[in-house]
């Protein structure tokens, strides 16, 4: 896998796995996933930007993002951290204010480093195969891919 390729797989009926390699050490990748000042520089698809970013990075702590997109469209999402093991692992719940993806998902992100390159693997687990399929039918893959391209630019600048 090259450093600019997002791979999306569905290893289980309720899961989506996102994998991408970045040319950066995992402590920097972890920081870009958890520090509001860095998140605001990359999070979201092209045309979307975080206008609110709150992170209480501890087990039981909450997070909340509000993004602004084309036509001043707003999208809010948030959740609670279940596992925080810097710089290698994060697990948290995620739900959207508008419920475009109904209910709550569990996101587990693992960062592994080899020779200065970090593989980010996020497993998104949904309540049902129907919700997972709804997410797959949305432009999620494009949006995540564009966000990770922006993340790559931030990592290059650090």
17-61 pLDDT, tens digit per residue, is 999 999 999 999 999 999 999 999 999 999 999 999 999 999 999
60-113 pLDDT, tens digit per residue, is 999 999 999 999 999 999 999 999 999 999 999 999 998 788 899 999 999 999
Beta strands in the chain (DSSP E): 7-9, 15-22, 49-55, 62-68, 74-85, 89-96, 105-114, 117-125
Listing DSSP states for 123-142 in one string gives: EEE-SSHHHHHHHHHTTHHH
């Amino acid at each position: 896998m090259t450093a600019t390729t997002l791979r999306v797989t569905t290893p289980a009926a309720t899961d989506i796995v996102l994998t991408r390699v970045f040319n950066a050490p995992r402590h920097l990748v972890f920081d870009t996933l958890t520090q509001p000042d860095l998140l605001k520089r990359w999070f979201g698809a092209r045309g979307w930007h975080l206008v609110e970013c709150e992170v209480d990075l501890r087990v039981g702590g909450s997070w909340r993002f509000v993004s602004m997109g084309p036509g001043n469209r707003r999208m809010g999402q948030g959740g609670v951290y279940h596992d925080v093991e810097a710089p290698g692992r994060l697990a948290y719940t995620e739900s959207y204010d508008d419920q475009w993806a109904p209910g709550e998902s569990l996101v587990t992100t693992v960062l592994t480093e080899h020779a200065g390159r970090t593989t980010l693997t996020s497993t998104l687990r949904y309540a049902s195969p129907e919700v997972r399929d709804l997410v797959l039918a949305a432009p999620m893959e494009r949006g995540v891919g564009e966000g990770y391209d922006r993340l790559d630019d931030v990592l290059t600048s650090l």
